[in-house]
Structure 1
Amino acid sequence: MLFVLAFCLLAGAAGSMVYAYLIDRQETVNRIKIVENKTHIEEEFDPPADPGPGSVIKKKPCIVNDSVIPVYVRVRVVFSNLDAQAQCEPIKIKDSWKTGEDGYYYYQKQLQPGQRTDTVFDNIVIKNIVKKEDLVPFDILVYEESVQSEGFSSPEEAFARL
């Protein structure tokens, strides 16, 4: 009998603590500020009037941060025509951009509001061994993405979380 009474007291005490835990509440107001992440591409581009073997085509793309927050940036550089890509020397990407396994180039610095990146590359060179009559018209497409840098230690980490 004493055992049953002790069990009932213990169960009642435990039950009242669980009940108190379940009904306890506290209100908190969380304020979330929405900030637009906006960037754009700027470039110096000087297309030659008559490109031929050995032509150096000036093209210097960079990214500008139009946001009010620091961002990380990545770009993809694509030839519009694979035959034309084979007719050009490999593009020399600048040291401040790191090649990712996903085909993007990652700018290795936080891009502060109003700042621009270093150029991704400076020019396109048509190989000397290509015959002029075999040249294929092409475009170089530069595609860019940006992500807020706060909370991340590298651009690769920030983009991996998307």
Structure 2
Amino acid sequence: MKKKPFIQVLLSVLLVAVILVGGTMAYLFATDSPLINTFKLAHVDTEIEEDPKGGTEADKEPYVTNTGSSPVYVRAKAVVVTQEGSPVAVSNEQVTFDYDTEGWTEKPDENGYYYYKQILQPRNSESDEFPRTSALFTGLKVDSTVSEDALFSVVVYHESVLAPSGEGVEWDITQAKAAFQKAESSETAAQS
């Protein structure tokens, strides 16, 4: 009969030991330092700038500047707009632009956009200038069929979307077009 109380005491001690070890382990895991995830939202913001080469409107060179804090894909197009009061209409077919095919795609897409051939990075610090594309075009020629008293303007439209960032990420036309298509489909869905 003396064995039975001994076994009960031994089992009680083991039970207390398991509870103490389990409680200690739970405490150690529960009081571990928290993991903090910090996120920075993307900020896409670009602007058109014009650098005049000479004194006339035809001498201006349009650039796109990244004023946001995220890398972006950029596309742009030039559209000829007849001004009010012009005796004749002027169209894009009557104006030839000298596009920069080294910095921009050689041919426009189906909507008339040329794609900048690099990911336009944000500026590095407050002291640096904002990064910009090369000039979309460096000049234009008006067809001889356009009368001298025709009034028209050249409007440069541009769009930019978030591009991937990181080491080894390079510009790719397929990825750039896919990013713009995704943005367009998201905008269409939001309007519905």
TM-score of the alignment, normalized to the shorter chain, above 0.5: yes
Asked if the contact 1:63–1:117 (Cα under 8 Å) also holds between the matched residues in 2, the reply is yes
Which residue number in structure 2 is paired with residue 37 of structure 1?
Answer: 44
Question: In structure 2, what residue type is equivalent to 1:119?
Answer: A
Query: Is 1:157 matched with 2:178?
Result: yes
Query: Is 1:124 matched with 2:140?
Result: yes
Q: Deviations over 1:117-138 (max 9, x none)?
A: 0100011222345443xx3101
Question: Which residue, out of 151, 154, 158, partners 1:144?
Answer: 158
Identity of aligned residues (%): 30
Q: Give the TM-score normalised by the residue count of structure 1.
A: 0.65
Q: Deviations over 1:83-120 (max 9, x none)?
A: 32368442122112221122211111100113100100
Which residue number in structure 1 is paired with residue 109 of structure 2?
Answer: 100
Q: Which has the higher contact order (CA 8 A, sep 6+)?
A: 1
Question: In structure 2, what residue type is equivalent to 1:92?
Answer: D
C-alpha distance in structure 2 between counterparts of 1:67 and 1:130, whole Å: 40
Asked if the contact 1:94–1:120 (Cα under 8 Å) also holds between the matched residues in 2, the reply is yes
Q: Which runs of 5+ in 1 are unaligned?
A: 1-28, 49-55
Q: Which runs of 5+ in 2 are unaligned?
A: 1-35, 83-87, 123-129, 166-170, 184-192
C-alpha change, 1:73 and 1:104, in structure 2 (3 Å) is: same
Asked if the contact 1:73–1:147 (Cα under 8 Å) also holds between the matched residues in 2, the reply is yes
User: Alignment length, in residue pairs?
Assistant: 126
Deviation at 1:65, TM superposition (A): 0.4
Larger radius of gyration: 2
Asked if the contact 2:120–2:133 (Cα under 8 Å) also holds between the matched residues in 1, the reply is yes
Q: Runs of 4+ in structure 1 displaced over 6 angstroms?
A: none
C-alpha change, 1:128 and 1:34, in structure 2 (3 Å) is: same
Asked if the contact 1:87–1:126 (Cα under 8 Å) also holds between the matched residues in 2, the reply is no
C-alpha distance in structure 1 between counterparts of 2:58 and 2:77, whole Å: 19
Q: Superposition RMSD on alpha carbons, in Å?
A: 2.8
C-alpha distance in structure 2 between counterparts of 1:30 and 1:139, whole Å: 50
